[in-house]
């Protein structure tokens, strides 16, 4: 019988082996209580299931966990069906004292964990394969489920017949697919700070073609930017849309450009973004408290104050494209709009929209 401790250990070792290099600070976010997760990580280190390695890249320290032979034996004993897959991933993406590869592995692991915590299926055997050679007998996409495909899976699928189709310098971490919606995940970490618009545009259209050819009926495309704190959101928003430069840019080719932080708040927000039914219920709970719906459908704002004098805009999803388009005076209303967001977003969004628009914190907690 496998205990809860063993289950958490197996989950940690699976992620370490699958990612090739797993950030030590992410171990507390793989599910369960953070203190218990840290206990499991240190137990794995003591048992020699994983080893800690450290690099310095662009004046930042990167600490990763890597699976050991003893750790692979642990996986093979408790999950023999996936041992061969994880062993091949370990050998394929094993790091050899290369700081740049370590930085990229850190970024890829961030996308993997955040997608999993947002409710997306990350296990290769539990989702439709993107490879033509593996599609025989595989299930078709379920529009009610979220699937996460890492950049490695995307690249392998696009390059299955043409190795020069997709450039390897794209900053994409992967995509979350849920019904009609596809979310492109990007990370603003120090190791991936360069943005080459032609390469990213090529990646965007390549992923579109790939998903449609594999049976996904996506027609709404969104950008999800993951950053360390809300200050990064300010920096990106100040640059504007379709701006050339080295730093990550907002692209008008996307319907939305969401910003989430690389922490538990970001995990919860990403889940709310990708699951429309949860989001709609959350919106109703917020607006039913103190606001009323407009008399007619309006895409510029979501509700009105009780006296009908001020528009109310929900911005807790931190859609930077939406924030850039907010006008200080809505047509037909004498007073400026009110923006509602989470408490940790208030200061950053206030600086993005300026002091003439009121930004308020939402008191309703995000549903888990």
Segments making up each domain of the chain, as ranges: 1-96, 98-274, 281-361
Partner residues linked to 55 by β-bridges: 62
Q: What is the mean pLDDT of the chain?
A: 84
pLDDT digits (tens, 9 = 90+) for 316-349: 999 999 898 886 656 667 778 899 999 999 999 9
Would the pLDDT of 303 be above 60?
yes
Residue 221: the pLDDT is 96
Over 50-62, what HEC string results? EEEEEEEECCEEE
4-13, 26-35, 104-113, 217-226: which range is least confident on average?
A: 4-13
pLDDT value, residue 137: 53
Distance CA(186)–CA(38), nearest Å, equals: 26
Element (DSSP H or E) covering residue 130: none
* The pTM of the whole model exceeds 0.75: yes
C-alpha 236/C-alpha 248 separation (Å) is 7
Q: What is the pLDDT of residue 4?
A: 45
Query: In the predicted model, what is the mean pLDDT of residues 148-152?
Result: 91
183 within 8 A of 176, measured Cβ to Cβ:
yes
Q: How far apart are CA 258 and CA 250, in angstroms?
A: 10
What SS3 state is found at 258? Answer: strand
pLDDT value, residue 138: 59
Quote the pLDDT of residue 305: 85
Using pLDDT thresholds of 50, 70 and 90, give the confidence band for residue 110. very high
Bigger pLDDT: 262 or 102?
262
Query: pLDDT tens digits, residue range 216-241?
Result: 999 999 999 999 899 999 988 888 88
pLDDT of residue 3: 45
| 16: enclosing H helix or E strand | helix 4-19
pLDDT tier at 1 (50, 70, 90 boundaries)? very low
| Rounded to 5°, angle at Cα 161 from 157 and 163 | 80
- pLDDT of 88 > 80? The answer is no
Q: Summarize the confidence of residues 246-260 as an average pLDDT.
A: 87
Question: Rounded CA gap, 177 and 214, in Å?
Answer: 12
CA angle 163, 167, 169 (to 5 degrees): 140
Q: Which residue carries 């600070």 as its tokens? A: 25
Hey, what CATH topology would domain 1-96 get? Arc Repressor Mutant, subunit A (1.10.10)
Residue 48 pLDDT class (50, 70, 90 cuts)? very high
Max CA pair span of the chain: 69
The count of other CB atoms within 10 Å of the CB of residue 297 is: 6
Q: Residue 233: its pLDDT value, please?
A: 92
Residue 168 has pLDDT above 70, yes or no: no
Task: Quote the pLDDT of residue 325.
Answer: 82
Burial 126-143 (b: 16+ CB within 10 A, else e): ebbbbeeeeeeeeeebee
Tens-place pLDDT, residues 182-203: 999 999 875 445 677 788 888 8
pLDDT score for 255: 93
pLDDT of residue 91: 67
């Amino acid at each position: 019988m496998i205990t809860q401790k063993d289950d958490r250990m197996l989950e940690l070792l699976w992620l370490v082996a699958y990612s090739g290099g797993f950030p030590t600070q992410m171990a507390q976010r793989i599910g369960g209580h953070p203190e218990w997760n840290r206990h499991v990580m240190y137990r794995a280190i003591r048992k020699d299931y994983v080893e800690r390695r450290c690099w310095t890249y662009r004046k930042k320290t990167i600490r990763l966990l890597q699976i050991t032979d003893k750790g692979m034996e642990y996986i093979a004993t408790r999950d023999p069906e996936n041992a061969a897959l994880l062993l091949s991933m370990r050998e394929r993406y094993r790091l050899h004292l290369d700081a740049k590869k370590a930085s990229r592995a850190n970024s890829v692991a961030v996308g993997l964990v955040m997608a999993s915590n947002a409710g997306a299926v990350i296990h290769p055997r539990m989702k439709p394969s993107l490879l033509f050679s593996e599609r025989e007998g595989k299930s078709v996409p379920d529009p009610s489920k979220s699937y996460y495909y890492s950049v490695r899976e995307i690249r392998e699928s696009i390059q299955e017949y043409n190795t020069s189709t997709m450039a390897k310098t794209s900053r994409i971490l992967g995509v979350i697919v849920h019904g009609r919606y596809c979310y492109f995940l990007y990370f603003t970490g120090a190791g991936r700070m360069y943005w080459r618009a032609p390469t990213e545009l090529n990646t965007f259209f390549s992923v579109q073609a790939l998903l449609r050819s594999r049976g996904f009926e996506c027609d709404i495309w969104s950008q999800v930017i993951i950053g360390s704190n809300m200050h990064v959101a300010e920096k990106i928003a100040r640059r504007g849309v379709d701006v050339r430069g080295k730093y990550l840019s907002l692209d008008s080719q996307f319907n939305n450009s969401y910003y989430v932080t690389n922490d538990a708040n970001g995990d919860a927000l990403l889940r709310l973004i990708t699951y429309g039914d949860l989001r709609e219920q959350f919106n109703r709970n917020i607006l039913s408290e103190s606001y009323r719906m407009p008399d007619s459908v309006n895409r510029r704002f979501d509700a009105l104050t009780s006296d009908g004098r001020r528009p109310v805009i929900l911005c807790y999803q931190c859609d930077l494209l939406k924030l850039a388009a907010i006008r200080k005076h809505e047509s037909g209303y004498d007073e400026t709009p009110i923006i509602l967001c989470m408490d940790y977003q208030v200061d950053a969004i206030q600086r993005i929209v300026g002091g003439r628009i009121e930004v308020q914190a939402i008191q309703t907690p995000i549903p888990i």
